[in-house]
């Protein structure tokens, strides 16, 4: 088990939340893209790797954590609590089908960042009561990385975000062209996948998305 310094959490961390999409890239190219995103100003990184074994995910997460921490940015691992703990990541993001937030909180302690997916007000309130630090709310637009994701309206986004005191990030198909439609949604930032890691110039895309996110959330 890794024992090291974890980076703290506050709502400003959610302004530009990068969710990785490795695709067919080799590890070296993948890490280079993450660093470009960090240089462009992302404020939190979620490592999402569905195809790796547990050991492979831990090894990769260690490399990504070291990279993120050089830029003072927390690393969150998607779904896998064991990999998050073993790699020294700063937290984990739990989907609706994953381990209960309350169970993970008891296991991992107060300084471990826990994010939870919420698509309804009821889910948001349950995650807050269980100890989540932040919510991922969406999908707000059709998502190229999750074809079957349930979409929510702008009105539902606002209701969910305003139903709990913990901060929230909007996710799902967000791009520089459509992010303005989320203004007034009550979220603290945007989570992006393809708009960032599918861009020709990742650093430039991150800088543009961060500026658009500031406009939308009022920071």
Helix intervals (H) in the chain: 27-40, 54-70, 81-87, 101-108, 121-130, 154-161, 194-197, 202-217
Predicted TM-score (pTM) of this structure:
0.95
* pLDDT tens-place string over residues 170-198: 999 999 999 999 999 999 999 999 999 99
By three-state DSSP, how is residue 181 classified? helix
* pLDDT tens-place string over residues 84-116: 999 999 999 999 999 999 999 999 999 999 999
143 versus 151: which is more confidently predicted? 151
Least confident of 57-71, 119-133, 147-161: 147-161
Residue 6 has pLDDT above 90, yes or no: no
Residue 43 has pLDDT above 80, yes or no: yes
């Amino acid at each position: 088990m890794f024992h090291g310094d974890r980076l703290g959490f506050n709502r400003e961390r959610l302004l530009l939340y990068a969710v990785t999409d490795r695709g067919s890239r080799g590890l070296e190219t993948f890490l280079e893209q993450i660093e470009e995103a960090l240089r462009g100003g992302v404020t939190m990184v979620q490592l999402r790797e569905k195809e790796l074994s547990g050991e492979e995910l831990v090894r990769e997460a260690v490399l990504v954590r070291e990279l993120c921490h050089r830029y003072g940015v927390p690393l969150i691992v998607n779904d896998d609590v064991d990999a998050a703990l073993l790699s020294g990541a700063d937290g984990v993001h739990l989907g609706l089908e994953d381990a209960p937030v309350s169970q993970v909180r008891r296991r991992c302690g107060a300084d471990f960042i826990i994010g939870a997916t919420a698509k309804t007000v009821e889910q948001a309130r349950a995650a807050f009561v269980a100890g989540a630090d932040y919510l991922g709310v969406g999908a707000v637009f059709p998502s190229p990385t999750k074809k079957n994701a349930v979409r929510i309206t702008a009105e539902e986004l606002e209701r969910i975000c305003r139903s709990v005191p913990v901060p929230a990030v909007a996710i799902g198909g967000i791009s520089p062209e459509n992010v303005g439609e989320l203004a007034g949604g009550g979220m603290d930032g945007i989570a992006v996948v393809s708009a960032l890691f599918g861009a020709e110039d990742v650093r430039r895309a991150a800088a543009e998305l961060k500026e658009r996110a500031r406009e939308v959330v009022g920071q």
